[in-house]
Structure 1
């Protein structure tokens, strides 16, 4: 299983919620200025303690009440081992927090009558296809932003991992079999939402990244926000991604999410995102001026499809258009989490009735700190005390995110069977392989070993280590270098491999490639 991707699509996000769901809500009149001031003081202390304890290298928090940013602060360091500290203007990669941001951009297009949420993708982008012709003919922007197209959650993520660009990935989604009937199931799809955004921008004649800037970032004064990775790497005040290496945070890996920019490629600051939250709290009005029509933006918060159960409370959760919609212990909330397995965690939570919102951006994975701080803050605001150790509860969720799968892979390949079978000579396996989805792959000899090359111009290379018979192992994930994946060959009567199955590209059963030549 590939881990190096935007994590908010995987099965855990069936239950990830901005707030835990309990059956009662506190009365709105409990949100006195004194209660909020006290809550902010305790939130700051919790954040400082978390960074001091090494929960994350750095984070930044913005809190908005009504039309005012009432808290804005950074904590910790941009990169471990370096002196530069995080402040309110430190730029973070926000991962899937990009989705509600992008939904706001599309709402602006809807407001301007450039598209409708119910515009058909077949009209906006006639070249786009799904595996089944009927859904492809009826698919709308609304379907893709609510993850109910039938595309499996991982569709296209594997192609991004091996270097394909957005155009090629979206083209190849036509080869992916659906995971559910059209509009019948929820399956969180990065590239499904990306197609919805790109298609919605098509009538403007401009690329998505420019549309996002013109329709949202620039009008809100979000000068440090971009949907281009090249802009992020130019920022001097930016946060590095961190993962745990031998129990300590390390900045080891960079993540270029341009292929799925609408779904996971936004970079921003706590200051900028707080301006966006102001717009959301006032349903399209910013600084007294209507920037987005209320009826266009409010549709993003309508619950359209059930996502599953919250892991902390067991309550039900729904998805709107780029937003989670929850009816929890503190009443109605809108939110979204974001994560890169290579080192990012983010969260936004909005209580629309109370006109209260919080955004948290952090530079490490795995951690449940954003949810833990958000839940703790909500308890303090609504109830005056923290109900439980929410940081620990969410840390436990994230700590176990991939543990069972990685452990199972390690156990399966811990040792070859006894007696083990020898591999054939390298010439048995060496050759060119292909299928419509993965494209071309090359297996070649490198000394006594084999190497698998995939992706555009065979740009991704993976060493193959013999395990048993015609089964080899590779280690495709930079952040889990000891997690193996199998590459198996089918050898024909002529003594040559006729096909191979690449385990880390087989999430949707599209990882089998046929030999097409030597």
Structure 2
């Protein structure tokens, strides 16, 4: 059976990124003409003349202002620039904060390869699950204002909540959500939230009740934070993203931060998402929209404003003399609330409120972090509160670029600033794995593209015209089928689906790189429904009447 699409919204939930991060393995990218030009441009940036007190080449990129690089970080820019190509990095931005000051901010490569637009400090990147700590801070501002308590039952604010576990439904608290304490998950909800945008409150709560799971133990999940976003909305009467803008972004003067993808991508300053293709990098076929931005992974922001975010978090909720969050609430966000140990170099002990909390190396300083990953996006945000050091890195590609940012760039910075000889250099090991894995990843991308290109609609034993139309499922939304060149194109909400083969009334489609089976359900030569097969079973979409001929009947009720 074809597997349900797994939401690639964070390193902890993305099968591809999660597998690579835990194993220390990524793919290697063969150079293409475009990425060679990118590498040449970056190399030229590092050759700019510098003061005699600094080694040659130790300045940031032109786009970042040709500023001197701190001596303690010397050599890193050239090291990273030399590795961009092999890790398939289209664009990258880095900021380092120490003692409430930005000591290093640099940019590499392009926000738009085709138009040769470089990454700048104000380029907006989608940060995926690195959104979660922002959502948690939004909740904490409501705690500060006395509008809710962390130990409030979630059901107090969301009376429609019904989990498969009735006892947990009653006992689940807002704190449980923020520290991932109860392991609540629901793949269909995440699919609709993060990919199709066909989520509604009716569908959300129905799917959670019917297809949700509750492990009862600490376990990372997007569901905890899409519930937290709904708590914000219930308490404030505003959308979670509008509330974050009011309560966090504006007071902290983070002018590029937004929960609106359509607005972000309409700007020339946004970073175009890229994905691996047979020839190297190509603009991602799927990107975020307003409908697929959610409180677990729904923000865009620049590296300059991530520097302000680090300052806010490390300065106990205050920035530039303005208090955004009470210091006690800021401290509570980075305290350990749920045990979930993992990792060796970054020895996480478990979860604070959204943040992962642990130690940088066993016995080392407290380490607070969160990452994010999606198609065409990777983000890393971390800080050492005792050392007053913070790092943020963003890129406009997934693995292996996202792994490069998380496992190489961030660790390089901490190794230099902490001068800890125990911290390993992972670049040689990961580079070796890159060489082995990338040809396989590119071959997989080539196979997918070839299957889509060669899909022969003449093998379909149903007239193409009979397939075109709208089909609906009360829980999963609307499937639209249209004519596309010599074949068909399917779309569920914001997610475009590409046929890869036809056989009689059956077909196979590619959805975000994975293949799923489907069929047309035909009666008297008329397509009555379309069925797609996922892990949770077959999802049937029934044909809808053309809009002009629909009767104004009452809306169908959701199944109980």
Tell me, yes or no, if the aligned pair for 2:273 and 2:283 is still in contact at 8 Å: yes
Distance in 2 of aligned mates of 1:46 and 1:153: 41
Equivalent residue in structure 1 for 2:424, among 357, 363, 387: 387
Equivalent residue in structure 2 for 1:352, among 385, 394, 409: 385
State how 1:51-70 maps to structure 2 within 5 Å.
Answer: 51=84, 55-70=88-103
Q: What's the counterpart of residue 29 of structure 1? A: none
Equivalent residue in structure 1 for 2:133, among 100, 110, 115: 100
Q: How has the CA–CA distance of structure 1 residues 315 and 170 changed in structure 2, closer, same or farther, with 3 Å as cutoff?
A: same
Q: What's the counterpart of residue 518 of structure 2? A: 487
Q: Report the CA distance between 1:443 and its aligned residue.
A: 8.7
Q: Report the CA distance between 1:212 and its aligned residue.
A: 0.5
Distance in 2 of aligned mates of 1:313 and 1:398: 23
Tell me, yes or no, if the aligned pair for 1:95 and 1:264 is still in contact at 8 Å: yes
Q: What's the counterpart of residue 270 of structure 1? A: 303
1:193 aligns to 2:225 (yes or no): yes
Tell me, yes or no, if the aligned pair for 2:8 and 2:15 is still in contact at 8 Å: no
Distance in 2 of aligned mates of 1:151 and 1:279: 30
Normalising by structure 2, report the TM-score.
Answer: 0.71
Tell me, yes or no, if the aligned pair for 1:437 and 1:510 is still in contact at 8 Å: no
* 3-state secondary structure, aligned to 1:359: strand
1:387-446, Cα deviation, whole Å (9 max, x unpaired): 323485399599979x79x97xx89xx9xxxxxxx998789x989987653256689999
Tell me, yes or no, if the aligned pair for 1:175 and 1:437 is still in contact at 8 Å: no
Q: What's the counterpart of residue 245 of structure 2? A: 213
Distance in 2 of aligned mates of 1:264 and 1:146: 16
1:502 aligns to 2:539 (yes or no): no
Distance in 2 of aligned mates of 1:328 and 1:111: 30
Equivalent residue in structure 2 for 1:322, among 347, 354, 359: 354
Q: Report the CA distance between 1:145 and its aligned residue.
A: 2.3
Normalising by structure 1, report the TM-score.
Answer: 0.77
Distance in 1 of aligned mates of 2:354 and 2:17: 13
1:119-150, Cα deviation, whole Å (9 max, x unpaired): 22222122333334332333222222233444
Q: How has the CA–CA distance of structure 1 residues 179 and 290 changed in structure 2, closer, same or farther, with 3 Å as cutoff?
A: same
Q: What's the counterpart of residue 76 of structure 1? A: 109
Distance in 2 of aligned mates of 1:365 and 1:391: 20
Tell me, yes or no, if the aligned pair for 1:153 and 1:187 is still in contact at 8 Å: no
Tell me, yes or no, if the aligned pair for 1:194 and 1:260 is still in contact at 8 Å: no
Q: Report the CA distance between 1:216 and its aligned residue.
A: 0.9
* 3-state secondary structure, aligned to 1:156: helix
Q: Is there any run of 5+ residues in structure 2 with no aligned partner, and where?
A: 25-68, 452-458, 546-560
State the structure with bigger RCO (CA 8 A, min sep 6), 1 or 2.
Answer: 1
Equivalent residue in structure 1 for 2:211, among 167, 171, 177: 177
Larger deviation, residues 251-260 vs 268-277: 251-260
1:476 aligns to 2:514 (yes or no): no
Distance in 2 of aligned mates of 1:193 and 1:399: 37
Tell me, yes or no, if the aligned pair for 1:344 and 1:363 is still in contact at 8 Å: yes
Distance in 2 of aligned mates of 1:398 and 1:107: 45
Q: What's the counterpart of residue 154 of structure 1? A: 187
* 3-state secondary structure, aligned to 2:294: helix
Q: Report the CA distance between 1:292 and its aligned residue.
A: 1.0
Distance in 1 of aligned mates of 2:145 and 2:432: 42
Q: How many residues align?
A: 476
1:465 aligns to 2:501 (yes or no): yes
Larger deviation, residues 125-134 vs 226-235: 125-134
Q: What's the counterpart of residue 364 of structure 1? A: 397
* 3-state secondary structure, aligned to 1:199: helix
Q: CA RMSD in A?
A: 4.3
1:220-248, Cα deviation, whole Å (9 max, x unpaired): 11111111113312433221111122242
Q: Report the CA distance between 1:261 and its aligned residue.
A: 2.8
Distance in 1 of aligned mates of 2:369 and 2:435: 18
Distance in 2 of aligned mates of 1:86 and 1:444: 37
Q: Is there any run of 5+ residues in structure 1 with no aligned partner, and where?
A: 21-35, 415-421
Equivalent residue in structure 1 for 2:176, among 119, 123, 143: 143
Distance in 2 of aligned mates of 1:14 and 1:391: 20
Distance in 1 of aligned mates of 2:120 and 2:484: 48
Q: Report the CA distance between 1:89 and its aligned residue.
A: 1.4
Distance in 1 of aligned mates of 2:262 and 2:489: 31
Tell me, yes or no, if the aligned pair for 2:111 and 2:118 is still in contact at 8 Å: yes
Q: How has the CA–CA distance of structure 1 residues 229 and 454 changed in structure 2, closer, same or farther, with 3 Å as cutoff?
A: closer
* 3-state secondary structure, aligned to 2:75: helix
Distance in 2 of aligned mates of 1:15 and 1:169: 31
Equivalent residue in structure 2 for 1:332, among 345, 358, 366: 366
Equivalent residue in structure 1 for 2:80, among 28, 43, 47: 47
Distance in 2 of aligned mates of 1:146 and 1:14: 20
Tell me, yes or no, if the aligned pair for 1:46 and 1:373 is still in contact at 8 Å: no
1:30-50, Cα deviation, whole Å (9 max, x unpaired): xxxxxx943322333333333
Q: How has the CA–CA distance of structure 1 residues 399 and 229 changed in structure 2, closer, same or farther, with 3 Å as cutoff?
A: farther
1:14-60, Cα deviation, whole Å (9 max, x unpaired): 78989x9xxxxxxxxxxxxxxx9433223333333334666412111
1:437 aligns to 2:475 (yes or no): yes
Distance in 1 of aligned mates of 2:482 and 2:395: 41
Distance in 2 of aligned mates of 1:17 and 1:283: 30
1:120 aligns to 2:123 (yes or no): no
* 3-state secondary structure, aligned to 1:274: helix
